[in-house]
Amino acid sequence: MSLCKVVAIFDSFNENHFFRGAIMRINSVKLATATAVYVAAVWVLCSVAIVVAPDALRTISGAMVHLNLSQWAWDMGLDTFVVGLLAWTLFSWVTVWSIVTVYQRLLGGSTYE
| Consecutive 10-residue averages of pLDDT for the chain (113 residues) | 57 52 78 97 94 90 87 86 96 96 80 50
Is 58 in contact with 72 (CB distance < 8 Å)? yes
**What are the angstrom distances between the C-alpha of 54 and each of 60, 74, 99, 101?**
10, 7, 35, 39
- CA Rg value for the chain: 22
Left (φ > 0), alpha (ψ -120 to 50) or beta: where does 112 sit? beta
pLDDT at res. 74: 81
Torsion of CA 68, 50, 74, 76, to 10 degrees: 160
pLDDT at res. 61: 87
